A and B are shown apart, each in its own frame.
Chain A
Amino acid sequence: MLPTKTGRTTAELPAFRRAQQRAYACAESVAARLRPGTTEREAARMQLEWLREHGGVNRSRPPLAWFGDRTVLPAPAGLGRTAGLSRTAGLAGCAPPRRLLPTDRKLAASMPFVLDMAPVLAGRTTVVGYSGCLGPDPVHERLMTDLRAHRELLLRRVRERRTLRELHEEVERLSAVQGYGTPPHTRPLGALLHPVAASPYERESGPAHRLPPRWSGRYGCRAPDRPPRPGLWVAEPHLWFRGTGAKFAELLVVTDSRDPEQSAFWLDDDLPHVRRWQEEAQAV
């Protein structure tokens, strides 16, 4: 059960599931239309147009698209890398920092891309992190395969009621073992697990929450030392290796149930990256 103070009820979950399905359909439709020469701006616009046609709203932030080595969430340079400094410098805000906004970079053959959006669709907030590659790239495939372990680890640890800080450390350790770079959630404005911000555009969303907006970075580099509270959470594991990044974003439901199976679960298992792993497992 989702406690009432979260402002959302278990009965709402199918609506959230439909919203997530449609948002992923948007990402898949845009990804299928990407061609060599498409720019990040064009890809972001394509997402925006699809969402508009299907009644979606993008008030919290516009859809994003990253190509090539920008799929490795670009880190701030120099001392900005030091988490504490950039936070005190007031970088934490509501708007996405400029370095994450789409640019005129063009897509080329065997270049990885990430489409990232957080729209309100059919009255429900949802998230999408869709990674793909224009043509086969062994590094990208490897990253997508290895993301599976992260999805499983996250769910297991959330069910064990580990604190957010422990979750961060575990994910960092796993990606270090897998041989990948320090995950972007260790950098300012990066995030691994954060609550779904309530939007005034969301119908039936109940009382307004005092949850931090997506870009605050509060759940990023310095995670609080407490377990995730019951409610809807966004999980965004992100792996990168030498200029190629891959991620997914999914809604995770955390409840106050004592039954481990019911205490936390993924909202939907029928998503592109999950289907990909199932196909891989069948192929083996």
Chain B
Amino acid sequence: MNTSPTGRPDGPEPGRPDGRGPDQRAGHGPERRAGHEQGRRNTPEPGRRTGGGAEGTTQPDGTAQPGNGLPADTRVRQVATGGIELCVAELGDPRHPTVVLLHGYPDNKEVWAQVADLLKDRFHVVLYDVRGCGHSTAPKPLRGGFTLEKLTDDFLAVADAVSPDEPVHLVGHDWGSVQGWEFATVARTEGRIASFTSVSGPSLDHFGHWIARRLSRPTPRRVAQLLGQGAKSWYVYALHTPVLPELAWRGPLGKRWPRILERTEKVPATGRPTTLARDAAHGAWLYRDNIRARLRRPRTDCYAHVPVQLITPTEDAFLSTYLYDDLEQWAPRLTRRTLRAKHWVPRTRPEQLASWIAGFVDGHQPGLPAVEPAATGPYADRFADRLVLVTGAGSGIGRATAFSFAEAGARVIAVDRDGDGAHRTAQLARLAGAPEAWAETVDVADEQAMEKLAEKVAAEYGTVDVLVNNAGVGMAGPFLDTTTQDWKHTLDVNLWGVIHGCRLFGRQMAERGQGGHIVNTAAASAYQPSRTLPAYSTSKAAVLMLTECLRAELADQDIGVTAVCPGFVNTGLTRTARFAGADERARQRLRSRAARLYGIRNYPPEKVAEAVLRAVVRNQAVVTVTPEARAARLLSRLAPRVLRGMARIQPPV
């Protein structure tokens, strides 16, 4: 059954429009290139052109083509507006809510192909080429033909053609978003837009006010922000040069653009734009016609009259995140979403984008009261609707982590050997704010069970965005008393559990190619030797090193890997810990004394959960939590002999 709100189709990758299978996105080098070649051969679009000089807007028979990457059943038509013919593509049932996807620069509507495909089952998806781009005709003369006023005329013409009765939901990326802000803030579109999702494109008016405010009162921080954004905007200055940009786009730059994007922006080379030179050359007039005019004299009435969802990629090379600092002032109904990605989110994170768009559209249907997201946690902008799997979620740190993610609006899968505990976690996670939460009873040490779990998760819930390998057991007692059985048990759970998790779910993340994060729970004893915890410390040290290696390997795929070293935290670990070389009575006594010491320390697992979320947001490598764990980490680097000396002390337990 399909349970995801994005309307993601069942099963693994049923016939992607661009013909890419999961195996073709996984590898590197020659294998990967071969996949791309195959992908291109399978493209349904027959008249595909690469890069330069695709001036033709229609096929010889007079019908426009949907474009590279768009499915063959796309309905294409021309909409006339002010002497321009706009190429409009439609997917999905027109009775469903209409979602208009607006592309940026230098792109045409093909940039939205993957997102449109994910949305088309639940929505009436409309894409159109902005004037002068793709298969739309260009105004004559070009100068003065690309003002935001004229682009608003275009949008209203398209909206009237595709959804004459109902307002449409607008989504814009880059210049599409800049246009979207204009549409969402001018009076004449009122009643025609139900919601607006902005991706990587500020309102020029808001931007103008942002600059003016920083120039009028330049504090050091504000000057730094101005200079930072000024440097990121280098291409804007370049595009104001006459003729040269056009020559470059129609010449060498146009040819090399897909490779440049692949290398610097990590945009997959498949589904490259078919009319790039034309889009880029004409699109330069977007900048020349609007930027100077709007930044010099920004409108003062630029208040959004629709609910706005702002999606900010944190690694954007062209736009700083602090551009949106004062946005609540202009858009009172604002929902913020953040993701760690570069500028071309519609190409690099289509699933994430589609799920946020679908959620926002569902929550803002015209005529119905707006549905506010239930999650109010500190990182709700980051984790809303993401899929998080936590092992060892039946108690302690795992449970607290599951709750923290639930509070941030994530969908949570609670995995534990103890089924009742996992169910309880899932129930309470729903109360804490998770839109969906499931419990799975699995022993992480069991390879086959973990493989089954990975298959089930992929088939029923989707690809995991954040994996927390937290399950672990305690093992105390001197090395000479520790049996091989004890060793096996400890390593099976603490190390092999993490290996299975990383292996199975890490592969799914890498194959999806849309980033992700893995958190492994190590321990302070991973770098703090002690005579009482040889087996436990060894297993956790292995987890720490595994994490560091994996982090290096998966960095290319945008998958972050973090090790968390909590220290003494008041959890059930002591109650279930094994004690080598002690009989049952001594074991009980040791157990309750250890539990009491942990109780006196009383460090709450909730604080570890906070650290886990923060680590994922900041993509930290190793996180130490309690003060004693931090101190030991510092000592292990500065004065390891001190730790070696402390390791010889027999603890009071």
Q: Check if A32 is an interface residue, CB within 8 A of chain B.
A: no
Chain A residues near B424 (CB-CB < 8 A)? 177-179
Q: Among B407, B421, B599, B604, point to the contact of A242 (Cβ < 8 A).
A: B407
Do A142 and B602 contact each other (CB < 8 Å), given the known contacts A176-B572, A179-B425? no
Question: Closest CB of chain A to B378's CB: distance in Å?
Answer: 12
B597 to chain A: closest CB distance in Å? Answer: 11
Would you call A81 and B395 a contact (CB within 8 A)? no
| A82, A142, A173, A182 — most chain B CB neighbours (10 Å) | A182
Q: Would you call B600 and A84 a contact (CB within 8 A)?
A: yes
Is B323 positioned at the interface, with any CB of A under 8 Å from its CB?
no
Q: Is the CB of A242 within 8 A of B602?
A: no
Q: In the complex, what distance in Å separates the CA atom of A166 from the CA atom of B463?
A: 45
B603 within 8 A of A: yes
Residues from chain A with a CB closer than 8 A to the CB of B575 are: 173
Partner of A187, one of B403, B432, B601, B602: B602
A241 at the binding interface (Cβ < 8 Å) = yes
Contact of B428 among A172, A173, A176, A179 (CB under 8 A): A179
**B399 at interface (Cβ–Cβ under 8 A)?**
yes
Tell me whether B606 is interfacial, beta carbon within 8 Å. yes
Complex: A173 Cα to B570 Cα, angstroms: 12
B431 at the interface (CB under 8 A from A): yes
Residues A242 and B395 in contact in the complex (CB < 8 Å), given A82-B602, A84-B600, A182-B604? no
Q: How far apart are the CA atoms of A187 and B604 in the complex, in Å?
A: 11
The listed residue (A82, A181, A182, A241) touching B432 by CB distance below 8 A is A241
Q: Which residues in A have their C-beta under 8 angstroms from that of B427?
A: 179
Q: Which residues of A contact B425 (CB under 8 A)?
A: 179
Shortest Cβ distance from residue B603 to the other chain A in the assembled complex, whole angstroms: 7
CB pair A82–B601 under 8 Å, yes or no, is yes
Residue of B nearest to A242 (CB): B432
Which B residues from 362 to 415 make CB contacts under 8 A with A? Answer: 395, 399, 403, 407
* A27-B450 Cα distance, complex, nearest whole Å: 52
Minimum CB–CB distance for A90 against chain B, Å: 18
Of residues 182 through 197 on chain A, the ones whose CB sits less than 8 Å from some CB of chain B are 182, 186-187
Contact assessment for A182 and B602 in the assembled complex, using a CB-CB cutoff below 8 Å: yes
CB distance from A64 to the nearest CB of B (A): 23
Let me know if B399 and A83 touch, CB within 8 A: no
- Give the residue name and chain of the A residue nearest to B570 (CB): A182
Cα separation A83 to B602 with both chains bound (whole Å): 8
Which chain A residues lie closer than 8 Å to B603 at the CB level?
A: 81
Closest to B428 in A: A179
Asked whether, in the complex, the Cβ of A186 is within 8 Å of the Cβ of B602, the reply is yes
Q: Report B-chain residues with C-beta under 8 Å of the C-beta of A186.
A: 599, 602
B599 in contact with A179 (CB, 8 Å): no
CB distance from B611 to the nearest CB of A (A): 16
Complex CA distance for A279 and B610, rounded to whole angstroms: 38
What is the minimal beta-carbon distance from B405 to any residue of chain A, in angstroms?
12
Per the bound structure, the CA–CA distance linking A206 and B250 in Å amounts to 102
Residues 123-166 of A at the B interface (beta carbon under 8 Å): 138-139, 142
Contact A177 B421 (CB under 8 A): yes
Q: A176-B572, A181-B606, A182-B570 are in contact. Are A138 and B599 (CB under 8 A)?
A: no
CA of A142 to CA of B427 in the docked complex: distance in angstroms?
A: 10
A176 contact set on B, CB distance < 8 A = 395, 572
Q: Which of B431, B572, B592 contacts A139 (CB 8 A)?
A: B431
Most buried by A among B431, B592, B604: B431
**Whole-angstrom CA separation of A81 from B568 in the bound complex:** 13
8 Å CB interface, B574-611 against A: 575, 592, 595, 599-604, 606
Contact partners of A187 in chain B: CB under 8 A: 602
- By beta carbon, the residue of chain A nearest B604 is A182
- Cβ contact within 8 Å between B428 and A241: yes
Tell me which residues across on chain B come within 8 A of A138, comparing CB atoms.
431
CA distance A62 to B175 in the complex (A): 62
Contacting residues of chain B (247-287) with chain A, CB-CB under 8 angstroms = none
B600 contacts A82, CB within 8 Å? yes
A71-86 Cβ-contact flags toward B at 8 Å (1 or 0): 0000000000111100
Beyond A241-B428, A241-B431, A241-B432, whether A179 also contacts B600 by CB under 8 A is no
Report the nearest B residue to A81, measured CB to CB: B602
Residues of the B chain whose Cβ atoms lie less than 8 Å from the Cβ of A177:
395, 421, 424
* Chain B residues with CB below 8 A from A179, complex form: 399, 421, 424-425, 427-428
Compute how far the CA of A176 lies from the CA of B431 in the bound complex, rounded to whole angstroms: 17
Residue of B nearest to A244 (CB): B431
Quote the shortest CB–CB distance from A180 to chain B (angstroms). Answer: 8
Report the minimal beta-carbon distance from A75 to chain B, rounded to whole angstroms.
8
Q: Once the chains bind, are A83 and B428 in contact (CB under 8 Å)?
A: no
Complex Cα spacing A109 to B377, Å: 18
Chain A residues within 8 Å of B403, by CB: 241-242
Distance in Å: Cβ of B646 to nearest Cβ of chain A:
20
Task: Tell me the bound Cα distance from A178 to B399 in angstroms.
Answer: 11
A-chain residues with CB within 8 Å of residue B428 when the two chains form the complex:
142, 179, 241
CB closest chain-B residue, reference A138: B431
A172 contacts which chain B residues (CB < 8 A)? 599
In this complex, what residue of B is CB-closest to A168? B599
Q: Which residue of chain B has the shortest Cβ distance to A142 in the bound complex?
A: B431
CA distance A127 to B395 in the complex (A): 33
Closest to A79 in B: B627
**Shortest Cβ distance from residue B627 to the other chain A in the assembled complex, whole angstroms:** 8
CA distance A178 to B432 in the complex (A): 14
Residue of B nearest to A137 (CB): B431
In Å, the complex CA distance between A173 and B425 comes to: 15
Residues of A within 8 A of B570 (CB): 182
CB proximity of B542 to chain A, nearest CB, Å: 28
Taken together as a complex, chains A and B put the C-alpha atoms of A172 and B395 apart, in Å, by: 13
In the complex, which residues of chain A have a beta carbon less than 8 angstroms from the beta carbon of B407?
A: 242
Within the assembled complex, what's the spacing in Å between the Cα atoms of A225 and B431? 37
Residues of A within 8 A of B395 (CB): 176-177
CB distance from A189 to the nearest CB of B (A): 13
- Chain B's closest residue to A188 (CB) is B602
Distance A1 CA – B83 CA, assembled complex (angstroms): 100
A142 to B600, CA, bound (A): 28
- Residue from the list B421, B592, B604 in contact with A181, Cβ < 8 A: B604
Kindly state the separation between the CA atoms of A273 and B603 in the bound complex, as whole angstroms. Answer: 31
A139 to B403, CA, bound (A): 13
User: Smallest CB–CB gap between A125 and chain B, Å?
Assistant: 31
Interface string of B160-181 (1 = CB under 8 A from A): 0000000000000000000000
Q: Which residue of A lies closest to B399 (CB)?
A: A179
Task: Give the distance to chain A from B422, nearest Cβ to Cβ, in Å.
Answer: 10
* Contact residues in A for B431 (Cβ distance below 8 Å): 138-139, 142, 241
A-B contact list, 20 entries, CB within 8 Å: A81-B602, A81-B604, A138-B431, A139-B431, A142-B431, A169-B595, A177-B424, A178-B424, A179-B421, A179-B425, A181-B606, A182-B570, A182-B602, A182-B604, A186-B599, A187-B602, A221-B602, A241-B431, A242-B403, A242-B407
Closest 9 CB pairs of A and B: A179-B428, A179-B424, A139-B431, A242-B432, A138-B431, A81-B602, A83-B600, A186-B602, A84-B600
Question: Which residues of B does A touch, CB under 8 Å?
Answer: 395, 399, 403, 407, 421, 424-425, 427-428, 431-432, 570, 572, 575, 592, 595, 599-604, 606
Additional A-B contacts beyond A81-B603, A82-B600, A186-B599 (14; CB < 8 A): A81-B602, A83-B602, A138-B431, A139-B432, A142-B431, A169-B595, A172-B599, A173-B575, A177-B395, A179-B428, A182-B570, A187-B602, A241-B403, A242-B432
